[in-house]
DNA sequence: GAGCATATTCAGAAGAACCTCAGATGTTTG
DNA sequence: CAAACATCTGAGGTTCTTCTGAATATGCTC
């Protein structure tokens, strides 16, 4: 799938599809995936909605449990982003009711850090997943893609593999290799690299990177991005043809050597 | 130079379209793109409006948040230029309200330099973008075009590629090639060349170039343009058929060799 | 061709952007 | 609970850009 992306990107004159954001995640009939976002904080719901919309999916939002159930019935989503803490009844209750209507819907829970242990254990058994607030948008998107992929929404060619030149990433195994050699990355380094590998040959600004890779409540300086780029370079570029390039005054690009 | 601007501006829909300014950025139905400009400083809003009108787009302006929301509902813009600092409520609040009405509208935020400090997280997340004041008009236009292009407003032929003779520019990757050979440019050199490549075969005065490529508050001499033209020539024309020509007493042109 | 206006190039100063290190803080793990 | 690790902040040093001013070159007019 990455190969496909790169080809369309490299063929200039070709009637270039504006962007192929969904990365091959579609409904079996080819229509865009539908996602319902349920969170009582409007700004967060809106943030998620706009990001997912940009991924090429169809989005509805709901601010409480009963609206969520009603919207689910009418909208027939393929996946639900579900805050476990809702004003009326909690996420697990919503899940029960929604499952009565849509038995196969994928659910990604959004939970507060401390409420992880008690409530949500066991949800991953059903194939569902969760992320803890505050999360990074990359993480939400990646997990959502994972759920949808496993639920059979992936086109044949699109697996969990990313590649740029001799750099390869297996998202499921969380393994990164350069020229076959395994490279150990920390969580943040991995997410940063994933974001870059998902957008090869595109210059990404530090602001863009911060917005996608760091938690949405991160209040620090864009300077961290430089730091982590430097970590990444040490691990994947040192002593080799560099794949990560600085574009001064703009940002960074990941691309094969010229 | 200034006179030329005024002339073409004064006969708007008149006789022959000398120039196809929108560069293929149109609505799917072929009608011109609509842009709403929101800034409380009238002179800046007017400057933006007139430049964007000259690009061939339909423009409305608003000076505060509530007017912006109302105008958005009625005008149904494809994109919004949105100052984050508004007298009534801030840009993100405006965005939230507008998105409730127009889920797919593109937003380009205009932010003050110092507010990069308290930068609003998520500002680029949904595919939206921002520029910091004081900006150059070229930058605003380029980013706006980028947003619209990615949002699917580009006609088939118009990608992020510009070409004049054997000189090619990929805006997304920020790559410039002459006859296939990659050429490294600084930020200002890149913007200057982009402006010239967008207006091939047209003589551009130094004043015009200064107005478009340099920040609107630039106080220096027109002499910088000469300097940067000389930098560009060294990088793209040296030892080859020159593409950049001086028109003495008038300005510069970029055009294929006769 | 002289003189003038205009354009090009050079050199250097000032500043911006970037990279890296070292250490503080917080988090996970044994 | 301590050790190991991950993440972030701040500061120093480095490199790269940008702009100014002056020196040189080019072209135009008479």
Q: Take residue A67 and report the two structure tokens written for it.
A: 């609206």
Q: What's the number of CA atoms in the CB half-sphere (13 Å) around residue B202?
A: 18
Residue with tokens 């959004």: A110
Q: Name the pLDDT band for B152 (thresholds 50, 70, 90).
A: confident
Least confident of A8-12, A61-65, B19-23, B56-60: A8-12
Q: Which of B49, B47, B56 is nearest to B198 (CA)?
A: B56
| Residue A22: predicted pLDDT | 66
Percentage of residues of chain A with pLDDT beyond 70: 84
The shortest C-alpha distance from B241 to chain A (Å) reads 24
Q: Is B128 on the interface with A (CB under 8 A)?
A: yes
- Helix H or strand E encompassing A228: helix A223-232
pLDDT digits (tens, 9 = 90+) for A45-101: 999 999 999 999 999 999 999 999 999 999 999 999 999 889 998 888 899 999 999
pLDDT tens per residue across span A110-132: 988 766 555 556 666 677 888 99
Taking the CA of residue B99 and the C1' sugar atom of nucleotide C13, their distance in angstroms comes to 49
Query: What's the pLDDT at A128?
Result: 87
**What pLDDT band is residue B2 in, cutting at 50, 70 and 90?**
very low
DSSP string, A4-60: HHHHHHH-SSS---S--TTTTB--TTSPPPEEEEE-S-HHHHHHHHHHHHHTT-EEE
Q: Are A33 and A27 in contact (CB under 8 A)?
A: yes
How does the average pLDDT of chain A come out, rounded?
A: 86
Q: State residue B198's pLDDT score.
A: 95
Lowest-confidence pick of A18-32, B38-52, B86-100 = A18-32
More confident: A124 or A251:
A251
| pLDDT (tens digit per residue) in A150-188 | 887 776 556 678 999 999 999 989 999 999 999 999 999
Separation between Cα atoms, residue A210 and residue B123, nearest integer Å: 10
Q: How far apart are CA B195 and CA B108, in angstroms?
A: 20
- Answer for the pair A145, A186: CB distance below 8 angstroms, yes or no: no
> Taking 60 as the threshold, does the pLDDT of residue A8 lie above it?
no
Identify the three-state secondary structure at position B209: helix
Q: Binning pLDDT at 50, 70 and 90, where does residue A40 land?
A: very high
Furthest C-alpha separation in chain B: 57
b/e map A61-87, b = 16+ CB within 10 Å: bbbbbebbbebbeebebbbbbbbbebe
- Choice between B114 and A71, residue whose per-residue pLDDT is larger: A71
Q: What's the gap in Å between the CA of B100 and the closest CA on chain A?
A: 9
What pLDDT is stored for residue A125 in this prediction? Answer: 66
Residues of chain B in contact with residue A16, where contact means CB-CB under 8 angstroms, are 159
Q: How far apart are CA A208 and CA A222, in angstroms?
A: 10
Residue-wise burial string across B56-66, b where 16 or more C-beta atoms lie within 10 A, e elsewhere: bbbbbbbbbbe
B234 CA: nearest nucleotide by C1': C9
- Residue A241 phi, psi dihedral angles, 5° rounding: -60, 120
CA distances from residue B30 to B27, B57, B135, B154 in whole angstroms, order as listed: 5, 12, 30, 10
Contact B126 A212 (CB under 8 A): no
User: How long is the CA A83 to C1' D16 vector, in angstroms?
Assistant: 47
Residue B44 has pLDDT above 50, yes or no: yes
Assess whether pLDDT exceeds 60 at residue B91. yes
What mean pLDDT comes out for the span B114-143? 85
Between the ranges B119-123, B148-152, B241-245, where is the mean pLDDT highest?
A: B241-245
- Look at residue A106 and tell me whether its pLDDT is greater than 70: yes
8 Å CB contact of B122 and A216: yes
- Using the structure, give the distance in angstroms from the CA atom of B197 to the C1' atom of C7, rounded to a whole number: 22
A244's enclosing H/E stretch is strand A244-247
Residue B4 has what pLDDT?
34
B-chain residues near A18 (CB < 8 A):
149-152, 154
Local structure of B230: helix, strand or coil: helix
- Count the neighbouring beta carbons within 10 Å of the beta carbon of residue B22: 17
Segment B112-120 mean pLDDT? 63
| Cα B59 to Cα B140: distance, rounded to the nearest angstrom | 14
> Beta strands A106-112 and A204-205: pairing type?
unpaired
Instruction: Report the pLDDT value the prediction gives residue A89, as an integer from 0 to 100.
Output: 84
**Which residues in chain A are closer than 8 Å to B172, comparing Cβ atoms?**
201-203
Residue B14 contacts residue B142 (beta carbons within 8 Å): no
pLDDT, residue A3, reads 34
CB atoms within 10 A of CB A126: 11
Q: In the structure, what pLDDT confidence band is assigned to residue A13 with cuts at 50, 70 and 90?
A: very low
- Quick one: which residue's CA is nearest to D28's C1'? B248
The span from the CA of A90 to the CA of B195, in Å, is 55
Predicted TM-score of the model (pTM): 0.90
Between CA B50 and CA B58, with CA B52 as vertex, the angle to 5 degrees is: 95
CB atoms within 10 A of CB B35: 25
pLDDT of residue B166: 96
Q: pLDDT for A67-80, tens place per residue?
A: 999 999 999 999 99
Return the pLDDT at B24.
75
**Are B157 and A15 a contacting pair at CB < 8 A?**
yes
User: What does the alpha-carbon distance between residue B64 and residue B53 come to, in Å, rounded to a whole number?
Assistant: 21
Residue with the larger pLDDT of the pair A30 and B179: B179
pLDDT tens-digit series, residues A191-200: 999 999 999 9
User: What is the structure's pLDDT at A119?
Assistant: 57
Residue A88 Cα distances to A101, B72, B119, angstroms: 19, 33, 33
Phi-psi region of B248 (alpha: psi -120 to 50; beta: other; left: phi over 0): beta
What pLDDT, on the 0 to 100 scale, is given for residue A42? 92
């Amino acid at each position: 799938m990455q190969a496909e992306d790169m080809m369309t990107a490299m063929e200039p004159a070709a009637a270039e599809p504006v962007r192929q954001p969904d990365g091959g995640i579609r409904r079996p009939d080819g229509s865009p995936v539908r996602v319902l976002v349920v969170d009582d904080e409007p700004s967060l719901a809106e943030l998620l909605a706009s990001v997912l919309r940009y991924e090429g999916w169809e989005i509805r939002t709901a601010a409480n449990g009963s609206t969520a159930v009603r919207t689910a019935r009418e909208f027939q989503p393929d996946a639900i982003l579900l805050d476990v803490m809702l004003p009326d009844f909690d996420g697990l209750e919503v899940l029960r009711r929604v499952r009565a209507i849509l038995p196969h819907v994928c659910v990604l829970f959004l939970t507060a850090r401390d409420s992880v242990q008690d409530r949500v254990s066991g949800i991953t058994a059903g194939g569902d997943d969760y992320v803890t607030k505050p999360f990074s948008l990359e993480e939400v998107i990646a997990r959502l893609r994972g759920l949808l992929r496993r639920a059979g929404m992936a086109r044949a060619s699109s697996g969990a593999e990313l590649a740029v030149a001799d750099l390869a990433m297996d998202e499921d195994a969380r393994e990164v290799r350069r020229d076959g050699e395994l490279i150990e990355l920390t969580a943040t380094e991995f997410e940063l690299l994933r974001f870059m590998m998902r957008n090869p040959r595109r210059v990404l600004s530090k602001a863009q990177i911060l917005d996608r890779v760091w938690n949405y409540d991160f209040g620090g300086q864009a300077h961290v991005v430089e730091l982590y780029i430097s970590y990444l370079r040490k691990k994947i570029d040192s002593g080799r043809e560099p794949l990560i390039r600085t574009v001064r005054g703009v940002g960074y690009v990941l691309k094969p050597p010229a």
